Amino acid sequence: MGYPRLTYDDYIENIDYWLGDRGVELPLWANEIAEKGYRSVCAIDFYDDIFGDDLEESRLPEDYRSGEYGGIAVERIPTNDSKKYRGKRVTVTEGNMELYDLIERSENFCMIAPVSYIGKQRTNKNARYLYALVIEIDDIEPKNGIDELFYSWRRKNLTMPQPTYVACSGSGLHLYFVFERPIPLFQNMFEQLTEVKKHFTTLFWNKYVTNSHQPEKIQYESVNQPFRCVGSVAKNGRAYVMAFKTGEKVTIEYFNKHLPQDKQMNAIYKSNLPLVKAKELYPEWYQKRIVEGKERGHWNRYEGIYYNWIEKMKNGAVVGHRYNCLENLCSLAVQCNIAPEQVEKDCRELAEVMEELTEKEDNHFTEYDVLCALKTYHNADEGAYRRKIEYIAKKTGIPLEPNKRNGRKQKLHLKLARANRDILCEERGKADWREGNGRPDKAKIVEEWQESHPDGKKADCIRDTGLSKPTVYRWWKEGEAL
């Protein structure tokens, strides 16, 4: 079990109980930090200060609301194989009670990142807000390492940023720089913060602080790297992670004062604009989104784009990108208003095609992959509507080129395209561009096939006529007397 209310002071005052009766040891460096006059805080105070009331409310999955994000803690649970573990995810909501319950009941390695996520997957794509930047320092020089580390943010020259908290993780330290306001993890901010973290990690891992200061030994971790929970068991199984308050909360501007010019960040924060002020500044937005409760508007796209992507998948999907190809199809299904039964049917048909690409027994394309992809369709959040072509091409491995207008406005570009089309038609002796372009002919083929097969299905029409699936679907007449 863990100890969400345990502090250093409580441990020292009741050392006979903690060490004698419970067998709980202090984590390394806790005594040295306490001797410097820093106050220890328990896990509850620690995470309350980091997340505040900013996480989503606790509610049932069917009551999920878009635009709200939760924390994700992970418990590493041993399996029958002593060398293998499985991870159990715990969603943390407003008040952090799920996290405190996990710390208290678990005897396993528990970790959490000071990040909120949309959904249940702890991925860079799903990360929404960063509440603290954390730097881990290991293999601290035993004689003067702690003194040198704490001196680094008190000295007058080449001053380092001062962390808000220092957590003793068992053998090393975690420096928590807690932000006054959470940082939205847009792609550009994620990249900037990654560079900032790498820069400060290199400076903190110097020869005066750690014995592992050589470049190949420095641990460069992701911005959303999870760390052992304060109050949970440390690596040796006998000590528990303790945190000390060492400074104030920080801002991007504070970091920039300690950064070279080429690494300074943009000051972009999570908006805290009061609704009263928003009503004054953006009355139309306020009326639509707050008063009427309407969702953000979206453009719907022509369904042919959906079927065109199916053909691209059949011809261009490769192992390693199969899931992303199918997931993008579900995104297009949202944009093109494709019926749910059609989407599921297409996904399962394509799953068979994807499975045929399997080369290794441990890498089959399964029903689980299909269900995960379909979540994009059924959730239909902002991520399903707004995707850049570069992102799609990178994730799916299928080359895509944006339509080029050579810098022209769309209206002018279309006007020029139509004029060019009419000139070509005149040159070919056609009165109208629709003559002989294939569309009426193909529509007629589908119409005649339906007349001859009143109980026929689209799949039969595709097979008998040799027309493509998008063409048949385009001209198929549902429930009409032919």
pLDDT digits (tens, 9 = 90+) for 73-129: 999 998 887 778 888 999 999 999 999 999 999 999 999 999 999 888 888 888 989
Segment 323-328 shows an average pLDDT of: 92
Q: What is the DSSP string of 440-475?
A: HHHHHHHHHHHHH-TT--HHHHHHHH---HHHHHHH
pLDDT at 204: 97
Look at 72-76, 181-185, 432-436 and tell me which has the smallest mean pLDDT: 432-436
pLDDT beyond 80 at 439: no
Residue 195 exposed, middle or buried by CB count within 10 Å (0-12, 13-18, 19+): middle
pLDDT-derived band at 344 (thresholds 50, 70, 90) equals: confident
pLDDT-derived band at 476 (thresholds 50, 70, 90) equals: confident
pLDDT at 164: 98
pLDDT at 459: 83
Beta strands (DSSP E) in 9-70 are 39-41
The residue with greater pLDDT, 114 or 360, is: 114
pLDDT at 437: 46
Look at 18-32, 206-220, 421-435 and tell me which has the smallest mean pLDDT: 421-435
pLDDT-derived band at 358 (thresholds 50, 70, 90) equals: confident
Q: Are 446 and 467 in contact (CB under 8 A)?
A: yes
Q: What is the DSSP string of 174-236?
A: EEEEEEEEEEE--HHHHHHHHHHHHHHHHHHS-TTTBS--SGGG-----TT--EEPTTSB-TT
Q: Which residue has the tokens 């689209």?
A: 458
Residues 253-309: tens digit of each pLDDT: 999 999 999 999 876 666 666 667 667 766 766 676 667 766 656 667 888 889 999
What does the mean pLDDT of the chain come to? Answer: 85
Q: Which residues pair with 228 in a beta bridge?
A: 111
Residue 67 exposed, middle or buried by CB count within 10 Å (0-12, 13-18, 19+): exposed
CA distance 178 to 248: 8
pLDDT at 295: 61
CA distance 170 to 237: 9
pLDDT beyond 70 at 423: no
Show the tokens assigned to 437: 């372009």
pLDDT-derived band at 385 (thresholds 50, 70, 90) equals: confident
pLDDT beyond 60 at 430: no
Segment 17-46 shows an average pLDDT of: 95
pLDDT at 47: 97
Q: Are 400 and 393 in contact (CB under 8 A)?
A: yes
Distance of CA 450 to the CA centre of its chain: 47
- CA distances to 94, 392, 402, 410 from 406, in Å: 49, 22, 11, 10
pLDDT at 282: 63
Please give the helix or strand (H or E) that residue 337 lies within, else none.
none
Query: Which pTM value belongs to this model?
Result: 0.60
pLDDT-derived band at 433 (thresholds 50, 70, 90) equals: very low
pLDDT beyond 60 at 438: no
pLDDT at 411: 62
Segment 321-331 shows an average pLDDT of: 92
CA distance 291 to 151: 53
